[in-house]
Amino acid sequence: MRKRQFSITHSTAIEGSTVTEIENQLLFDEGITAKGRSLQEQMMNLDLKAAYEQSMRWARQHMDFSVQMLKNLSALVMKNTGASYNTAQGSFDASKGDLRLVGVTAGIGGRSYMNYPSLGRWQWAHVSPRHEPPAIRVRIGTCENCQRG
């Protein structure tokens, strides 16, 4: 339990949350909100907790990875803090787990992350949910565990 709270607290801190571990413990265990913290920060922590718990259930069931699984997880993470976007490429709703139609940048120096249409040229090369820790390897061509052509 403590490790999960620690992970959630620090993961949401990266996104700007100032909720502490103790405040999260009260929020998660007792439903008590923290004075002086925004509702958005607290909802972000509750959403991430729900997504974390769902991912652990899927891991115990050895669920195969899929785009739909990732969209469902994204919808849980963004349930109360996501928004709808209308762009030149079309509309999408982050709170519903829709795949981004625009690129994003983050951090000092503006690290860029590709949008979903840009990933179209990539392939799901290998998904291995049962015989090693869950990992998705995305590469152009074949993966190191597949027969090379």
Residue 78 has pLDDT above 80, yes or no: yes
Residue 124 has pLDDT above 50, yes or no: no
Is residue 109 in some structural domain? no
H helix intervals, 61-100: 67-77
Is residue 130 in some structural domain? no
Which band of pLDDT confidence, cut at 50, 70 and 90, is reported for residue 58?
very high
Between residues 102 and 145, which one has the greater pLDDT?
102
Mean pLDDT for the chain overall: 76
Is residue 32 in some structural domain? yes
Is residue 58 in some structural domain? yes
Is residue 147 in some structural domain? no
- Is the separation of the CB atoms in 31 and 60 below 8 Å? no
| Count of structural domains within the chain | 1
Is residue 49 in some structural domain? yes
Is residue 35 in some structural domain? yes
Q: For the CA atoms of 97, 7, 55, 77, what is the dihedral angle to 10 degrees?
A: -10
Residue range of the domain that includes 6: 1-63
Is residue 5 in some structural domain? yes
Between residues 134 and 44, which one has the greater pLDDT?
44
Residue 77 one-letter amino acid: V
